[in-house]
Amino acid sequence: MAGERVRVTAGRQHEGILLQSPDEGLILLKLDSGYNVGINKKGAKITVLKQATKKTEMKVKKVVAKDLPKITILHTGGTIASKVDYETGAVISAFTPQEILERFPEIEEIASIESKLLRNMWSGDMRFAHYNVMAKAIVQEMKKNVKGIIITHGTDTMGYSAAALSFMVEGLTVPVILVGAQRSSDRGGTDAAVNLACAAHFITKTDFTGVALCMHENMNDDACVILPACKTRKLHSSRRDAFAAVNAQPIARVTKEGAVAWIEKPVYEEKKVKLTLMDEKIKVGIVRFHPNFFAEELEHYKNFDGLVIEGTGLGNGPVDVIDKETKEHDKILKTIATMAKKMPVVMTTQCVFGRIDMDVYAYGRKLQAAGVIGNGTDMLTETAFVKLAWLLSNYPGAVKELYLKNLRGEISERTLIQSEPSRLSHLGDKG
């Protein structure tokens, strides 16, 4: 029955948890690695190694450690708050904040923890309304004399949320660290414990203020890196070390034992705390230029409030008419010019690293003449998206001026000559 630990022999042996199979002729097994495998039932021998046990509720206890710094953990869900449903084999968002603390008691030795549930959702379901919920909660917790705030979050859109919160809450007096996990918290190989512990160590042992992310430095469980909110991207779909700073350096390195080493400590000017929320009705689109692009793809966004274009290379696009096959390009340019009169249209690059320079090629100049802005910036598309939405929500009359200004470290003063492409070459490896 589903939930039993079994050994299946069919030519070769597999051990794992038996799952409910949608096919009567198929044995579905959850391996210890976390992956599912389907085995033809015909001729297979199943040996039950351990009977299924009914899981009992974890005891919930409030952590009281008055002599330790206070940290609030705000939970939004994601893989870090998920577990495997052994009936279906799917990962479900299920753990409560208290259960996470029960599962990772080592955090209790670092700080006095108070947990609050904001949501229990996948990060792919995030909307501007959820950014507002998080931003309001941050401001509330800052009033309680906490040393810092950890936000547990799904990894898929964690970069968007980090950037959004950095714009929405100005003048932070405490660190706000977003933490995720690539493997669910009930798996033996989960990265959740180390990520949470490193975030807690960083908060308690530094004077950092602002928004950042904390994720694995590499595939080992030795250390994490603290990454800048507006310059970080998820570069691998499943590895623990999926996150890296782009056109920037990590802020710090933190070992699981708690040793902190600054890499590029940010300097913030002191400002009064100011909360500026997102207009939940603002519509900002993202369109990616590609070969055989049609103007019709832009027209889907004609009633939006803003548009981000992911151009090729330095911020280029199909706007040159060089033969009869490229007549569509004239229509593309005219459509962009029409849209740019009604809304801000901004340019980013599909490249991972580098800066926009639309002065180099003729079609870059044509795009600028059509009203596209963003020349000289090196913002990630995710950051450009949330910055544009935030500006439209709060400073609609100054969007084009403020978009080009570096407000939260989203635009590098100079292009960083970094070894990231070579360092990240391992991301194509199996693992």
The number of domains in the chain is 3
The two structure tokens encoding residue 237: 């779909």
Residues labelled as active-site residues: 79, 155-156, 234
Handedness of CA 239, 243, 246, 251 (dihedral sign): negative
My answer on whether 140 and 252 are in the same domain is yes
- Which of 255, 275, 295 delimits the end of a domain? 275
Contact 356, 376 (CB under 8 A): yes
My answer on whether 168 and 230 are in the same domain is yes
- Which of 228, 252, 275 delimits the end of a domain? 275
31 located within any domain: yes
End-to-end, the C-alpha distance of the chain in Å comes to: 31
From CA 219, how far away is CA 183, in angstroms rounded? 12
My answer on whether 262 and 370 are in the same domain is no
Instruction: Find, among 8, 94, 105, 102, the residue nearest to 48 by Cα.
Output: 8
- Model-level pTM? 0.83
- Which of 247, 275, 303 delimits the end of a domain? 275
My answer on whether 136 and 199 are in the same domain is yes
pLDDT recorded at residue 66: 58
The two structure tokens encoding residue 229: 């909110």
pLDDT recorded at residue 415: 72
Segments of the chain scoring below 70 in pLDDT = 22, 33-35, 53-66, 79, 81-100, 185-189, 416-431
CATH code at position 157: 3.40.50.1170
From CA 195, how far away is CA 8, in angstroms rounded? 35
411 located within any domain: no
My answer on whether 238 and 331 are in the same domain is no
421 located within any domain: no
Contact 177, 148 (CB under 8 A): yes
pLDDT recorded at residue 413: 87
Handedness of CA 39, 45, 48, 49 (dihedral sign): negative
Q: Which domain holds residue 144?
A: 70-275
pLDDT recorded at residue 97: 60
From CA 298, how far away is CA 284, in angstroms rounded? 12
My answer on whether 267 and 290 are in the same domain is no
SS3 content of the chain, % helix, strand, coil (to 5): 30, 25, 45
My answer on whether 224 and 121 are in the same domain is yes
- Ramachandran area for residue 181 (φ above 0: left; ψ -120 to 50: alpha; else beta): beta
